[in-house]
Amino acid sequence: MTIDLILFLILALVAVATALGMLLSRNAVYSALFLVLNFATVAVFYILLAAPFIAMVQVTVYAGAIMVLFLFVIMLLGTDVLPPGKALPWQRPLAGVLAFILAAEAVYLLVARAAPAEEIFRPEAFVNTMESLRVMGRMLFNEYLLPFEVTSILLLVAMIGAIVLTLKEKGEQN
Amino acid sequence: MVPVNYYIILSAVLFTIGALGVLIRRNPLIIFMSVELMLNAANLAFVAFARANGDSNVAYSGQIFVFFVIAVAAAEVAVGLALIVQIFKSRHSINVDEMNSLKG
Amino acid sequence: MPQPTDFQTILPLTVLSVWACVLLLVDLFIPKTRKSITALLSALGLALTLGLTLAQTGLSLTGFNGMVVLDGFSIFINTILLISGLLGVAVAYGYVRRMGLERGEYYTLLLFSVAGMMLMAQAADLIVVFLALELLSIPLYVLAAFNRTKTDSEEAGLKYFLLGAFSAGFVVYGIALVFGATSTTSLTGIVAALATGAGAANLPLLAVGAALILVGFGFKVAAVPFHMWTPDVYQGAPTAVTAFMAAGAKIAGFAALLRVFATAFSSLAVDLTNVLWALAALTMIVGNVIAISQTNIKRLLAYSSIAHAGYILMAFVPYGNREVMPVSVAAGLFYLVSYAVTNFGAWGVVIALEKAEGKGLEVADYAGLGRKYPALAAAMTVFMLSLIGLPPTLGLVGKIYLFRAVIDGGFYGLAVIGVLTSLVSAYYYLRVVVTMYMRDGEPQAGREFWLDATTAVTALVTVIVSLVPQWLFALASESVLKLF
Amino acid sequence: METTGFFFLAPWIVFFPLIGLLINLIFGKRLPEQAIGWIASLASGAAFVVSLLLAYSLSAAHGEAFRWTIGEWMHIGDLQLDWTFRVDTLSTTMMLVVSGVGTLIHIYAIGYMHEDVRFKNDPGRYQRFFVFFNLFIVAMMILVGGDSYLMLFVGWEGVGLCSFLLIGFWYDMDTLARPSWANSNAAKKAFITNRIGDFGFLIAGFLMFWYLGSFQFDHVFEAAQHAPPEIIIAITLFMLVGVTGKSAQIPLYVWLPDAMAGPTPVSALIHAATMVTAGVYLVARSAELYTLVPAAQYIVAMTGAVTALFAATIAVGQYDIKKVLAYSTISQLGFMVAAVGMGAFVAGMFHLVTHAFFKALLFLSAGSVILGLERGHHHLAHGHHAERGKKKEGGHDEAHEEVFDPGDMRNMGGLRKTMPVTFWLYMIGTLALAGIFPFAGFWSKDEILLDASLHYPTVYILLTIAAFFTAFYMGRQVWMVFFGEARHEAAAHAEESKPIITAPLMVLAALSFLGGALNLPFEGFHNLGHWLEHTLHEVEALPLDLKVAGISTALALVAILISWLIYGRNPLKKGQPDPLKKPLGFIFTGMENKWFVDEGYRAVFVDRYVDISRFLADVIDWRFWHDWFHDKVLAGTYNWLSNIALNKYVDQRGIDAFANGLGDATKNLSAALRRVQNGFVRSYALSVLLGVVLILGYLLFK
Amino acid sequence: MEFLLQPLTLMTFFPLLGALVVLFLPSAQKNLLRWTALVVSLITFGISLWAFFFSGQYAASSPDLQLVARYDWITVAGWNIQYYLAADGLSILLVLLTTFLTPISILSTWTAVEERVKDFMLFFLLLETGMLGVFVAQDLFLFYIFWEFTLVPMYFLIGIWGGPRRIYAAIKFFLYTMAGSILMLLAILYVAIKSGTFAVPDLVNQLPALYASGVIDPRTQMILFGAFLAAFAIKVPMWPLHSWLPDAHVEAPTAGSVILAGVLLKMGTYGFLRFNIPMFPGASLQAAPWIALFATIGIIYGAAVSYAQADVKKLVAYSSVSHLGFVMLGLFALNPQGIQGAILQMINHGLSTGALFLLVGMIYEQTHTRELKVYGGLWKITPVFGSIMLVVALSSMGLPGLNGFVGEFAILLGAFGSDAIGSPWYAGVSAAGVIMAAIYILYMFQKMFLGPQGEIVDEVKKHGHGLRDLNWREIITIVPILVFIFWIGLYPKPFFDLMAPSVNNLVAALQTAAMAMP
């Protein structure tokens, strides 16, 4: 029972708890906030896993930009709480069962069937140094140039889409 | 030294919760958040796997993948939220259970 | 640094994307009443790209550190995709105006979507596959919801979007597992890893990852049980979009499925074959069976497209078997083409009969078509026959190729399911014909040149190529052989 | 073979009538009645001439059988069938009888039909009658002239067809000219009953081909010599089935009495003189087969004998003048069959010939009687008018007058005075039939009895009793018809027939009187015997046996005496029941009602067949197989996969069939299946997840 | 060009050409359309006669496939599909029957079909091409295409011009036939894969080797046989798969019924003759008793059921079940008498039943009812009609001297002594079917033409002038059939000569197969 392990367990606990909170809280705003917390915890994991850059992106883009956007929309639409619906009574239990089975399968897979390298040894080389950022930057524009460009197009398309969907045209009322 | 498996299992659990959220919530925003949670879980798994492997290139490629996933997520969010807003504008409700005029 | 060959690999793709971006800007200066210019320009772009693609015939390159490849297969697929794109523009041309959706972005998004599909066909790395998947999906989400005045359209958009994102989640997780098992995401890398046995310990991981990726593709090609979005989206989306979606998304999905599984996961065949078997069987059965009860032509065609996904899946079932594989996949591609052509034709007729207020979409509205618009009815009959798989149509040839492949692979049970379900399918396709010829009614068809042209051309192709199918099959099989 | 003689004419026995038939068929509409009749008669007469020439050339060739092929028929593998005519003593005998008697009856019919069509008020059918009549001659000639069993079968069925057509000649009425299905039913009955016989014939043919390797007579007989006897027995017995059908033997005789629905010439030619004797001819023709298997012979003989007696008893109880003759015919055919069964082929053929003479005579005279009454009735009708109009409706108007049956002996009486010629002719026929010395019937019947007495005592006894009955019912008939006084005005006003009708009768009468000369039982007088010997070998020519002859003659006389005591001494009064009714009681009722055999058959076979086919058609094929299984189960399955809306694409009746197919359970299933696609995005996601879980489950725990 | 001039190609596709012409004629010009169709079909008939008798390219004495038109069609990835037309003794008569009946049927529609004449003629000519293709195609793939192709026009003929329940009948006809043929497709593919060719003659030569070498074990052979059987048995239709027949026949327009009974059903029996028996001799020999059993049941059952029908067309339809039972019995007697009889009986049934449907249609045109009970006594009013009907009816009940007898006799004779069937009982029982045939045929004839005048006569009188006898067009339509009825009945030699060589070949092959069997 090492420090890391304890730390991991605590964080894991927090992550799961926040996730569940997101899942269960009736109010959308709370859900969003729980999710922010969850992302934050995950960011910590990234750091533990020696991925500072990702952790940073996680916090800024995810927890920051995206979730804020969510909150905006929630507030804007004022749909934080939906009236209780009675449709699909069997949906919840069924979903629960399926989810449980899925989790069980995953655990079984990972524990019993396929065990990746046991320990994470500690490579001194690139722990949270600027080096790693530089390397990744270089990689992004060499090996991963194409995906990068594609992503840019993707974002462009998304943007167009958003505009197309929301922009009110002249003479169009709804 | 925390075994990678733990991370993967955690991610699996998070993933499942996300999936569950998609299944049981009626608010498209929350459903959407759950999807984000799923992606997030996937990312965690990625980084963990990347870390598990000594080769730094591999490690980096994993992380870069995560980077792309986040970008894509952002793109999806843009479209998704626009869609939801638009729908709210036209029918003043976003309850997905009320969107079943197409069926059968 | 990237080499010129890298760009040569994705030349058509690049051109198309760039063209799309430029078109986006140009469109701003085209007056609202003259959007047909945008349509023509986009068609021009597609045509140009098509030209480039054909010009690449025979090339075999990889670019961007093996992220993308250019080979016979991708060229074959891209050609179909581009043609579908062109047809998509053609059927939309008059439709969007009639429905009052005429906006430049429509075509731009369509171009981007095509670009995504082409990328999917060329992708040689799971990252690219994933990005391509999104690139082709996001425009489709938007297009599905393009008719903002209609709540159905929005509903379709949202459903498509939510479920798409949901399935994308599985894909990503699947990729993650694959990465975990083999420490790489490039298809060749995976093969290598398996060969060296480095990741051999994690075959289960790999299998599960592959399965999750399969889910993603299954969703795109509308395979049971990942199909349920299809009818709703097809019905709700603007018909022109549906027509394009039904063909393009399927082609791209199958292309990726084929490339990924045939190259990277062929060693998993023992496990996945059965999964595919079950998927194919389920898809054929469910699709055809539920289709019987449909009275709305769009839903009917939606289920029929599900069913046909099942037939095409049959061709992939023996993908592990190196002897049968080339032929069977070639059969699959052939069927894909025949389906795409027929599909466009059928949707073309549907578009012709659809009226602004969404009327004319019930099968019953087709009564009397045989008398009033003999040509249109004849065309529709041809398409229905082709979908059933009767002479003299592509559908028959395609089915025969398929069943032969399946029998060749020794999957007699599947073959029997296939023939029986296509017997079931005859029932609901015939109902359309019955209504057209044997019931009296006063249908109203909107006629515009490009639409009629599409219908006519597809009908002719359906019949004529069925008489001389050899060259097409030859192309398909060559393109497949290039894969290995 | 040497082509001297007229053998090359053989096919013309068929072609001449055929030509006549074609002429009448094509130009009949434009020809006058007389012409039609005479063309037909000439055609048949020409056939008779040819037969004579053939017989002549045959005797010149010392009875050497001659075969003349005119064309190939069926050549498949070992099956080699040709259209070949066979001219031998047996066949020529038949040809002569057929064409000879046939021609006479043709001539008779010229007059008879002329009146008949007018009484039935449809002159248009005159032509049709002679077309059919010629057609019959054609078929009959093929039957007797064929060189193989199969060609014989062609004629065999052909005559069956003609009998169908001619029995149903007045297809739209019954014997009393009232609109009804009766006649056509009778025709149908005849054809179908015959077909049952033909079925036996066919089976016999199959056996013959596969075990004796051919249908050609000589080959068959040759092969039969060294074939397993049980096969021969089977063949001969199946043939017997055919015989019972065609020659009206038990159990298939029932059609013949009904056949009297046809015009009298038809009854005379087809149902007395020629067609019904085809069975006898068949057995005689197959002599070489039968002689191989005594067991079969015995069965044949018994069949004939029993039939002879049985039919005779029925004849006693009949009132219709033609019905009596019909049963007498059956009885006489029984004699012949018994004869050929016993192997007394000559006797059989001999009786066949004489019977042809006197039975034709009797029928035709009966016809003349009937016409006489019709004429009488006709006169009355002019007395009280509107008769024509009634006839237009087919003489059907009880309100005006009870329907008059010109064939009912109870309406007759005293015709001796009004129709003298007919009376005398009838007497000759009667005596011949009763077997009174020296009429033809005496000799032929006597020869049969003689053979029977020597070989088959049972048969002998049966036949003798039958002979007794024969004399009795003929006596009864004569007394009832010609003696006493008229029991109906029509009889009182009856008129004698014209010469065209009576002339042929006289010829027949002469033949009936002298016919015996053909084969007298004295040394050197067995002409027919020697003639036939060329074809049917080992013929035993028996001398006259006074004991047998005496007994039979005595019995006949006694019978006639009894009949006089009952019917002659104090004739029947109008409306008085038959005097035998009281003393015999239920027995006579049985005789009257043909021992209820028809009713029995109807109850046991006919109705059952109808029921079965109805059941198969309605219940099994339609309700169960078509409606239930196909429409409900198969189509219904489609439906629980789909929903009711679908049915508007299936026509109305389809809807019912389909909708009924949906039981509640299936309805629920359908509903459930539709509920899956419920439009809720969350449940769609659920199905996706379900798929994932299942696939993973398979991959992990397979 | 030379490709198009081959006799069979020309014959098969000439109607298609005609269809194209019809397509571009104005639909208002009804008579023009009728004449065009008639002339086209007559020319097709002419071509077929020329091809077989006057072109000098067809030697009836040879058992081989002749008039061969053979080109590679689809040869890729181990496929070897050919455009392969040819004819031999097994098919020539059926081809001629088709080309012979088509003009007659078209002639029969002259006044019967008044609406959408254009479509009608179009479909009819297409149908002819399909049927001819089925009979001359020697490549399984090509055959299958023609086979399925015939479905479509017939489906329209029933569905558009049929009776009140036409759509139901059309769909039923379509689905049932397709259900069978689709299984056959699998078998075709299997066989083609195992032997690498689709060409029937090659298959017939190669398959025995495969059987011998065990590549295809007896069980598989039986399954393949069964798959083909499924397709053909439904088409024939063999009892108990006949349920679609009464519906199709009753609802179809006259011309449709004629072609359906005359030709389409023969496609099934021909299939047995051309594919099942030569390709799977072992299985055929094994299955013979069973098929004989079902054929016998069909004969008796069909005869019994048709006797209980109140609807003339239905009666005739069920009689087809009985007649085709005879054909099946003959085919699987697997000896010369049986098979030749069966082939001839196919023709006979085509002529007799075709004629029956024609005649029923002619009277239906006037009375608009098929209920037997309203008829009666018609012979008096329509003598010519009655007499012709009589002849046809007699030929259909197998009266010696008419065509029906020759076929049925040969069949029964063959079946009686067939080693393959192995028992005379089947033939014996079937012979009883001859009696039952007499029963229902005479019943029909009596109810329509004999007996007192039926109410329909006055019924017709009420609306305009009463019943008329056949007019010249109708007589011309029917007389050619009568000619053949007598010809075949009295002098069938020419017909037997046409088929004999090929049949003997087939039988010889079967004997060798029988030797090979354990």
Give the lowest-confidence range in C182-191, D403-412, E65-74, E84-93.
Answer: D403-412
Amino acid (1-letter code) at residue C178: V
Q: What is the mean pLDDT of chain C?
A: 89
Within 74-103 of A, beta carbons closer than 8 Å to C belong to none
The pLDDT of residue D638 is: 65
The answer to whether B65 contacts C141, with C-beta atoms less than 8 Å apart, is no
Contact call for residues B36 and A34 (beta carbons, < 8 A): no
How far are the Cα atoms of A131, A134, C340, D354, E200 from residue A138, in angstroms, in the given order?
Answer: 11, 6, 42, 130, 67
Q: Which two tokens stand for residue D216?
A: 């050609």
Among E299, E318, E413, the residue to mutate for chain D (most D Cβ within 10 A): E413
The pLDDT of residue D530 is: 82
Query: What is the nearest CA distance from B79 to chain D, expressed in angstroms?
Result: 18
Chain C residues with CB under 8 Å of E75 CB are 470
pLDDT greater than 60 at residue A163: yes
**Confidence at E355, pLDDT banded by 50, 70, 90:** very high
pTM equals 0.85
The pLDDT of residue A116 is: 56
Query: What is the nearest CA distance from B95 to chain D, expressed in angstroms?
Result: 10
Q: Does B12 lie at the interface with D, CB-CB under 8 angstroms?
A: no
The answer to whether D689 contacts A113, with C-beta atoms less than 8 Å apart, is no
- Scanning every residue of chain D, which has its alpha carbon at the shortest distance from the alpha carbon of E381? D124
pLDDT tens, position by position, C108-137: 999 999 999 999 999 999 999 999 999 999
Other CB atoms within 10 Å distance of the CB of residue C323: 10
- Scanning every residue of chain A, which has its alpha carbon at the shortest distance from the alpha carbon of D696? A105
Task: For Cα atoms E482, E45, E246, give the angle at the middle one, nearest 5 degrees.
Answer: 60
Chain B residues with CB under 8 Å of D674 CB are 104
Q: Which two tokens stand for residue E136?
A: 């001359």
- Work out the average pLDDT over E323-328: 95
For residue B99, give the nearest of A90, C153, C303 by alpha carbon.
Answer: C153
Give the whole-angstrom CA distance, residue D149 versus residue D152.
5
Which residues have CB under 8 Å from A6's CB, separation 6+?
none
pLDDT greater than 60 at residue C8: yes
Chain A residues with CB under 8 Å of D697 CB are 101, 105
Secondary structure element (H or E) that encloses residue D318, with its range: none
Task: Note the Cα C285 to chain centre separation in Å.
Answer: 20
Kindly state the greatest CA–CA separation across chain D: 117
Handedness of CA C18, C24, C28, C29 (dihedral sign): positive
Chain C residues with CB under 8 Å of A116 CB are 180, 202, 205
pLDDT tens, position by position, C158-214: 999 999 999 999 999 999 999 988 888 888 888 888 877 654 557 888 888 999 999
Angle D294-316/D457-482 helices, nearest 10 degrees?
A: 20
pLDDT tens, position by position, D625-657: 888 887 777 777 666 655 433 333 333 333 333
Residue D317: CA count within 13 A, CB half-sphere:
19
Q: What are phi and psi of D317, to 5 degrees?
A: -95, 10
Q: Does E450 lie at the interface with D, CB-CB under 8 angstroms?
A: yes
Chain B residues with CB under 8 Å of C176 CB are 11, 42-43, 45-46, 49
Collect the ranges in chain D with pLDDT lower than 70.
Answer: 1-4, 382-402, 538-539, 637-676
Task: Note the Cα D295 to chain centre separation in Å.
Answer: 27
Among B23, B31, B83, the residue to mutate for chain D (most D Cβ within 10 A): B23
pLDDT tens, position by position, A51-66: 888 898 899 888 888 8
Among C226, C228, C285, the residue to mutate for chain D (most D Cβ within 10 A): C228
Amino acid (1-letter code) at residue D428: I
Q: Which two tokens stand for residue C435?
A: 């209504």
**Confidence at B104, pLDDT banded by 50, 70, 90:** low
Q: Does C151 lie at the interface with D, CB-CB under 8 angstroms?
A: no
**Buried (b) or exposed (e) across D281-293, using 16+ Cβ within 10 A?**
bbbbbbbbbbbbb
Percent of chain E with pLDDT over 70: 99
Which of C67, C68, C135 lies closest to A153 in CB terms?
C135
Give the lowest-confidence range in B86-100, C208-222, C412-426, E278-292.
Answer: B86-100
- Scanning every residue of chain B, which has its alpha carbon at the shortest distance from the alpha carbon of C186? B61
Within 58-77 of B, beta carbons closer than 8 Å to A belong to 59-61, 63-64, 66-68, 70-77
The pLDDT of residue D668 is: 44
The answer to whether E193 contacts C416, with C-beta atoms less than 8 Å apart, is no
Give the whole-angstrom CA distance, residue E201 versus residue E138.
7
pLDDT tens, position by position, E165-215: 888 888 888 888 888 888 898 899 899 888 888 899 999 988 888 888 888
- The strand pairing partners of E66, in sequence order, are E87
Which of D638, D646, D699 lies closest to C211 in CB terms?
D699
The pLDDT of residue D298 is: 92
Within 594-653 of D, beta carbons closer than 8 Å to C belong to 638, 641-643, 645-646, 648-649
Chain C residues with CB under 8 Å of B45 CB are 173, 176-177, 180
Q: What is the 3-state secondary structure (H, E, C) of E133-147?
A: HHHHECEHHHHHHHH
The pLDDT of residue E81 is: 86
Give the whole-angstrom CA distance, residue D83 versus residue D74.
9
Among E300, E307, E344, E390, the residue to mutate for chain D (most D Cβ within 10 A): E307
Residue E388: CA count within 13 A, CB half-sphere:
24
pLDDT greater than 70 at residue E506: yes
Query: What is the nearest CA distance from D620 to chain C, expressed in angstroms?
Result: 27
The answer to whether B71 contacts A49, with C-beta atoms less than 8 Å apart, is no
Which residues have CB under 8 Å from C3's CB, separation 6+?
C63
Within 10-49 of A, beta carbons closer than 8 Å to B belong to 12, 15-16, 19-20, 22-23, 28, 31-32, 35, 38-39, 42, 45-46, 48-49
The pLDDT of residue C53 is: 94
The pLDDT of residue C484 is: 63
Chain A residues with CB under 8 Å of B32 CB are 70
Q: What are phi and psi of D591, to 5 degrees?
A: -60, -45
Amino acid (1-letter code) at residue C266: S
Which of D199, D206, D630 lies closest to E434 in CB terms?
D199
- E29: region left, alpha or beta (phi > 0 left; psi from -120 to 50 alpha): beta
The pLDDT of residue E77 is: 63
Q: What is the mean pLDDT of chain E?
A: 90
Give the lowest-confidence range in C388-397, D154-163, D524-533, E341-350.
Answer: D524-533
ipTM: 0.86
Give the lowest-confidence range in A97-101, A110-114, C26-30, D278-282.
Answer: A110-114
